[in-house]
Amino acid sequence: MRYISSILLLLLPLWLGTTVWAAEEEVQKEPAQYITLKPSFVASMGARSYLKADISLRARGDDTVKQIDHHMPLVRDGLVLLFSAQTFADVEGAAGREQLRQSALQMLQQLLTQETGKPLVEDLLFTSFVVQR
């Protein structure tokens, strides 16, 4: 009997960990929602170079989307400042666009974490991206 209780004590943390993991997994199963940021972003990148981008944000849960909408002026301001700081060479090619996308996502997550305590935005997607020189 003593051996059975010892085994149960050893297995209890594993069982509890599985239960917690299952609960976290259910939270992640909320359907993705996309927030389209309108109007398009247009930024000057120096002499006669421009960037135009259409962006959608991916988030999960109605409350999260409401929080993002509430902080939309902060979101747009951060993106405008980031895009305006770029040069044509920074965003030229697929690698440059991907680096900018990652930078924009990290910046938004940091801003929203400062305001709400959570990053809120799961991903940032360019639905259109044009640079002109």
Tokens of 78: 């951060």
What pLDDT was estimated at residue 8? Answer: 47
Helix locations, 1-133, DSSP H: 2-28, 62-70, 72-84, 88-91, 93-116
Give, in order, the Cα–Cα distances in Å from 4 to each of 8, 10, 15, 40.
Answer: 6, 10, 16, 65
Same domain, 78 and 16: no
Q: What is the pTM of this model?
A: 0.77
* DSSP summary character for residue 31: P
CATH code, 124: 3.30.479.30
Ordered per-residue pLDDT tens for the chain, 133 residues? 555 555 545 554 555 555 444 555 555 579 999 999 999 999 998 888 999 999 999 999 999 999 999 999 999 999 999 999 999 999 999 999 999 999 999 999 999 999 999 999 999 999 999 999 8
Write down the pLDDT at residue 46. 83
Residue 126 belongs to domain spanning? 31-132
Number of domains forming the structure of the chain = 2
